Structure 1
Amino acid sequence: MKAKILIAAIFFSGMISAQQTKTDSANTKNIEAVTITKQVFKKQSDRFVYDVANSPVAKGNTTFEILKQTPLLSSTDDKTLRIAGKNNALIFINGRKTNMDAESLAQFLKNTPAENIQKIEVITTPGSEYQAESSDGIINIIMKKKMTDGTNGNLRMSNSQNKYNASSASASINYRKDKLGISGNISTSDNIQAQEYTLKNRNGEYSNESTGNIDDPNKNLGGYINIDYQLNDNSNLALTWNSWANRSYDSRVDLFNISEGPDPISGLLEKKYSISRNRENARSYNNSLNLNYELKTDTLGSKLNLNAAYLNYRRFQITDNRTIFSNAFGNDLGLSKQTIQDLPQYINNFSGMVDYIKKFKKDFTVSVGGNYNKTKTDNDTKNDTYFVDPSRPTKNEPNHFIYDENIYGAYLTLEKKLSEKFSGKIGARYEITNSLGTSDNSQNPAYARIERNFNNFLPYLSLNYAINDKNNISYAFSSRMRRPSFWEVNPVRNILTDDNYTQNDPFVKASSVYNQEMTYMFKNSYFLVVNHSFVKDQITQVPLQGIVQYANGQMGTKNELRYIRTNFGDRHELSAMLGLQKSFFKQYWSTNFNIGIQYNKNKGSLSMDPTTGDIFPTYTNDISSTSLLIQMNNNIRLDKKKTWFLGVNGFYVDKQQIELGLLKDLMSLDLNLKKIWNNWTFAVDVRDVLRTNVVEIEDYQANGNYNYIKNDQFRRGVMVSLTYNFGNNKVKKVRDIESASDAIKNRTR
């Protein structure tokens, strides 16, 4: 069911700066109170730093909610995070990228208490030391470091009510004794992801309309354990294990379909009614193990880092897709067609990484390193279609698709403080990618062997000038590449209705991303960020619809709609964002306010389904749009004792052109009331108070094609949470290490 929900999820992948996406993964430990200092938000070298330590903002909150309230960060779908002017944001913890797939990450961040955050770093233009999959931006969460031996932790429970009730609970603990540090977390949640759809498309005399609901139950259980041991004064050894499991049984799609068009024999206009009744059982497991060795080589801060990691990802998915004859009132008149799909996926990855940072006197740093990733994905798909009509034989379409990938990378960066006011960083990364996709039983011989070998040289430049104590200006340029996720190259068809489905593309290639950014900050409270991003051969989902000319030359007899995941032209994004991060009235009122403009330009066209060779009327997106973006987060202290707080948060996203058409405006108003009593925090959150965060996309093509999507994910709701912190709050935080396989893990789903 999650693959089908991509129709909605991709709407946010190309959205403006007021959003946050893939996401990637996150591990979070305990998080402690946060006090807003005089320089709560400032620019440091290649990153923005949001100091949230010692303020009540974090108490009783989740990590996800704190990230949404960080300047330059936002979320419109309450699932993904985005940096202003960027498409993607990767989540790091203490410099270590998190390990979960996107679905698990969202659950993890929402289930983890936010009491231990020291500060949040927003790296809008990552340097060459980050692997190329760190395409658009990095959110690095720095945890507090405790100074004495002992034990501490926290417990958190929450219950929320949207369309359905949901609950979650988590427990975290930190222990330190002399040279040994151990930290662990376990969290669980139970929810039903509900969606309501309206899908319309037409082409000439043919039209289709589908309306109905998707209910996707999810049970999640996950956790981590970190063991860190100080071998001597200069070296540390650490072992990290992360695990996350998801079970989604009895996911349901129920859509009522109306199709209209001329009868292929009589030519008379006729209406047909049907019901799409799809059921799915799925479960997935994500386990990763990382071994790290760190050696400090001098007193200036030079160090060597070695990492070896193993990742195992497994997903099992069985779908039962049924098309039911119906009348105009939606009554069940009997089975027409049934498709049973078995869609397993296995991913195994071994990764190695070495980094050496050499610091010299006079503020000069050289960083050099390399990485190796070896990944194998195995997708043994079964696809059997049964027809009630005895004249139509059963259709069997198995496909055992194996994808092997090897990546070799090396980088060099030079960083120098040229004067008290001026500093710069320059670097480059070189990567070699070899991939091979094979299919031993596909119905399409083109899948038999797909081999790609390519090299990439990726330069980087960052300059920072502190004009004086109050004014700072900086510029950065980076070139990146965005490799397709492993599921995107697996040629699987995910059925929504009889004439409406998504299709992955094994021929999709990596896209190139070029970013430029200029930043001006005044008094560490006001900022202006101007960003330009160019994506070549962007990977997205394209709607092809109409009467099909099949690869064998035959013409179809009805209107079809396929959402094809493939490369689709180029995209320009230009944005300018003005921001304010400041406290007023003796810190009774703290506000984070952003307002900006974004210009989007998509240029692409597609007429052939790359997976089958079938020809459709050409789909073209050569339209630009200019949009207004507004985001606000307000924290109001209601009493002198600092125990009652009111939060008023929201966003507005103007209509804009994305890959699928014109996305209509989105907005949301969220309210929060919080009470702090000793070690307890009680909070009530009301989300999307006005129920205005509903997606609508409309697209008109010059050839007469029309496509409309409305997706309501029932985001208005109430959540009640209770958090308890216990133990010695001065416990030293266990050292976190970047895993060698982190750049691979975000590509699992």
Structure 2
Amino acid sequence: MKTQLLIAAIFFSGFTFAQQKKTDSLKTKKIDEVVIKKQVFKKQSDRFVYDVAASPIAKGNTTFDVLKQTPLVSTTDDKTLKIAGKNNAQIFINGRKSNMDAESLVQFLKNTPAENIQKIEVITVPGSEFQVESSEGIINIVLKKKMSDGLNGNMRMANYQNKFNGSSASFSLNYRKDKLGISANLSGSDNIQAQKYTLKNGTNLIQNQSVGEMNDPNKNLGGYLNLDYQLNDKSNLALSWNSWANRSYNSTADLLNTLKMFDEDGVLKSTELTKSQNLKNSRSYNNSFNLNYELKTDSLGSKLNLNAAYLNYRKFQNAENKTLGTATNGNFNLYRQYVLQEIPQIINNFSGMADYIKKFQKDFTVSLGGSFNSTKTDNDTKNFFDYYDSNGNLVKSKPDLNHFIYDEKIYGAYLTFDKKFSEKLSGKIGARYEITKSMGSSEVPGQTMQEFERNYNNLLPYLSLNYAINDKNNISYAFSSRMRRPSFWELNPVKNILTQDNYTQNNPFVKASTNYNQELTYMFKNSYFLVLNHSYIKDVITQVPLQRNIVRDGITYRQLAYIRTNFGDRQEMSAMLGMQKSFFKQYLTTNFNVGMQHNINNGMLNTDPTTGEVFDTYINNINSTSLVIQANNTVRLDKKKTWFLGINYFFIDKQQIELGMLKNLMSLDMSLKKNWNDWTFALNVTDILNTNIVEITDNQTSGNYNYIHQNRYNRGGSLSITYSFGNQKVKKVRDIEGASDGIKSRTK
């Protein structure tokens, strides 16, 4: 109900602005259209630049829509953005990492009109000055610069339908008066995330199967407030607050479990049916504050940046899991296992950052800086297990209590040198040095407190070279090394129960992994490009499926545990050939990528590092080569540029991952958009062929197998309405990189 009221309030408030805008438009003289051909896509030094303002796809789209159609950028779940050959991308705005947490950032991108964007920069191999982890690339959104005072904003609402119906709404304002700038956003959504699972595992003698549905209702409300004040011609002071709240009550999972036993000849001996029912309630709050000071030190562009930040993340979750067996009447009303869980998490982070960029004449720049992060997590987990025999009689009750506290401090410093040697040759060299000191303690009532300490220092070098052979040909090379620290939820040693014999286990002993990345890029006529990439990841952080036989009441069962841990090494090699070009006087704009990716896996595990329990050995040393295709097409349907048809398609061939062989993924999406004055109406249909479904198969040489089939109901449709109002020349408030931004990504 609150979401509907929010939607109504937003849109009724907009009509006043609409009438004023209509009056102003009558005073505007019509100017004949002037067509100027610009380079829409080009390579500059360490990044690709996509000139959105010069592209016909911007009008009527959201920022997220445009990002999905940006060369080298893709998404398979409509939530996370990936750069070709990379993991998830970090989002920067005007060169600064976004202050928003992951959930609110997605909402922000999906509710921000693309008309606000000047260009999008894709940095496939970030330099030492960027705080990113692992093989993450950077997508930098550069907003248009508006110089005059005034007020503007936009309102958007959307309704979408897949298995369930959902809605969202957002309201944004930008105000500038003399030296003061204010930017604010409020957004909310109400939806049910649905999934259908089929899980199978076992051997030729014993087989498990769980089939069922999961429905997760979500209500979200969040926003941000940014204040920017120009102290004088050389300095600025900014304060920002970002907040996001999520509530997920009555999240359910109902699975039918089938256990089958066979003899050595493959003859079925027995079948047992049970039902697992899960009920979960959770709510989370994410608030961050950031204070920024910027000082310009000379006329060449040298500047000093200082940041101080505080981040508070709180999540409260309780869950009820019960596994029921069949009685003599065939109904599922005999308890086999009953579990109550309380899984809270509190994260507090204090951080600071200082950067100084010194520009010299003759195109030489030196950048240096340092950062400090202090994070403390508090996880007071309470589990209560009740075990029953096959007749439904209580056998024993066992509490599983664990108060886990984790304290981490990270000290970082970097130095880079950037030099343009000639009109054709430029390069950058640098390094980042990081010191990590962490201490964890696990307190279980009646047991000796378990403590661990992990300290490590890392030198992370970086090098890039760019050579413009001539006006049509450009070639570049880059090398970088990065760390990937475990997320805080991965360190919390909690066990999440799915069925009586199927669970996930996090691990406080996970250590950081190291990534070494190389990339060679060639570009022709600012339209065609070839990207060759190689990544080597040491101590990969992932989930590993471990199986073993366990005996209860004289019956052998097959247990499957997904253990979070470091799992060997992996290499990824990719070659991507792409094109970004317009045809037929910009009636057709196409972005097409095709490439190959080769994965080399090398991992082995047979022990749960948190408990020492021994399982059957799991080995993943299978290599795979995959075809990747992405095509985004925008067709202008009329001369006035008011009707647009979008046809988007991606295909990812099967590939070996840590859990097994991931079947190919494919999706065909279409959209129809109408621009009418300051209004935009959009109709989108996603996964038309219903082919974007996860399917993973693993067969071990020992005879163990594991199978996952996950339907996330990606096929659906949405209708959205966007209205922009006010003085469109308002200068945007500076987007400031928060000192705690490197920590936020690890809260999810």
> 2:128 — aligned with what?
128
8 Å contact from structure 1 (residues 175, 181) kept in 2: yes
8 Å contact from structure 1 (residues 275, 330) kept in 2: no
8 Å contact from structure 2 (residues 99, 736) kept in 1: no
8 Å contact from structure 1 (residues 218, 247) kept in 2: yes
- More off after superposition, 506-515 vs 57-66: 57-66
Is 1:270 matched up with 2:266? Answer: no
Superposition pairs of residues 562-601 of structure 1, within 5 angstroms: 562-601=561-600
How far off is 1:104 after superposition? 4.3
> 2:205 — aligned with what?
205
Question: Which of residues 415, 423, 428 in structure 1 aligns to 2:426?
Answer: 423
Counterparts in 2 of 1:431 and 1:487: CA distance versus 1, 3 Å: same
> 2:399 — aligned with what?
396
SS of the residue corresponding to residue 395 of structure 2 reads coil
How far off is 1:45 after superposition? 1.1
> 2:373 — aligned with what?
373
> 1:703 — aligned with what?
702
> 1:325 — aligned with what?
325
How far off is 1:208 after superposition? 0.4
How far off is 1:440 after superposition? 2.0
> 1:489 — aligned with what?
491
Counterparts in 2 of 1:195 and 1:589: CA distance versus 1, 3 Å: same
8 Å contact from structure 2 (residues 387, 397) kept in 1: yes
Counterparts in 2 of 1:606 and 1:214: CA distance versus 1, 3 Å: same
Q: Distance in 1 between matches of 2:594 and 2:520?
A: 16
Counterparts in 2 of 1:152 and 1:347: CA distance versus 1, 3 Å: same
Is 1:308 matched up with 2:308? Answer: yes
Q: Distance in 1 between matches of 2:487 and 2:259?
A: 34
- More off after superposition, 193-202 vs 110-119: 110-119
SS of the residue corresponding to residue 564 of structure 2 reads strand
8 Å contact from structure 1 (residues 433, 455) kept in 2: yes
Q: Distance in 2 between matches of 1:310 and 1:591?
A: 43
How far off is 1:547 after superposition? 1.8
> 1:11 — aligned with what?
none
8 Å contact from structure 2 (residues 40, 55) kept in 1: no
Q: Distance in 2 between matches of 1:141 and 1:217?
A: 31
**Identity %, equivalent residues:** 70
How far off is 1:110 after superposition? 2.9
Question: Which of residues 509, 512, 516 in structure 2 aligns to 1:510?
Answer: 512
8 Å contact from structure 1 (residues 548, 616) kept in 2: no
Q: Distance in 1 between matches of 2:454 and 2:208?
A: 39
Task: Using structure 2 for the length normalisation, give the TM-score.
Answer: 0.92
Q: Distance in 1 between matches of 2:262 and 2:548?
A: 14
SS of the residue corresponding to residue 53 of structure 1 reads helix
8 Å contact from structure 1 (residues 442, 448) kept in 2: no
Counterparts in 2 of 1:408 and 1:548: CA distance versus 1, 3 Å: farther
Residue segments in structure 1 that go unaligned for 5+ positions in a row: 1-34
How far off is 1:87 after superposition? 1.6
How far off is 1:272 after superposition? 1.3
Q: Distance in 1 between matches of 2:407 and 2:204?
A: 43
> 2:408 — aligned with what?
405
8 Å contact from structure 2 (residues 327, 334) kept in 1: no
Amino acid across the alignment from 2:566 = N
Over the aligned positions, Cα root-mean-square deviation in angstroms equals 2.1
Q: Distance in 2 between matches of 1:337 and 1:317?
A: 20
Counterparts in 2 of 1:631 and 1:328: CA distance versus 1, 3 Å: farther
How far off is 1:444 after superposition? 7.7
8 Å contact from structure 2 (residues 376, 406) kept in 1: yes
SS of the residue corresponding to residue 127 of structure 2 reads coil
Amino acid across the alignment from 1:405 = E
> 1:449 — aligned with what?
451
Q: Distance in 1 between matches of 2:248 and 2:200?
A: 28
Amino acid across the alignment from 1:583 = S
How far off is 1:130 after superposition? 1.3
Q: Distance in 2 between matches of 1:675 and 1:451?
A: 59
Q: Distance in 2 between matches of 1:116 and 1:501?
A: 46
Superposition pairs of residues 644-659 of structure 1, within 5 angstroms: 644-659=643-658
> 2:634 — aligned with what?
635
How far off is 1:262 after superposition? 7.2
Counterparts in 2 of 1:535 and 1:442: CA distance versus 1, 3 Å: farther
> 1:738 — aligned with what?
737
8 Å contact from structure 1 (residues 60, 722) kept in 2: no
> 1:539 — aligned with what?
541
8 Å contact from structure 1 (residues 256, 330) kept in 2: no
Task: Using structure 1 for the length normalisation, give the TM-score.
Answer: 0.92
> 1:669 — aligned with what?
668
Rg larger for:
2
> 1:342 — aligned with what?
342
> 1:242 — aligned with what?
242
> 1:23 — aligned with what?
none
How far off is 1:103 after superposition? 4.1
- More off after superposition, 524-533 vs 93-102: 93-102
SS of the residue corresponding to residue 747 of structure 1 reads helix
How far off is 1:271 after superposition? 1.6
SS of the residue corresponding to residue 398 of structure 1 reads strand
Counterparts in 2 of 1:505 and 1:73: CA distance versus 1, 3 Å: same
How far off is 1:561 after superposition? 0.1
8 Å contact from structure 1 (residues 528, 577) kept in 2: yes
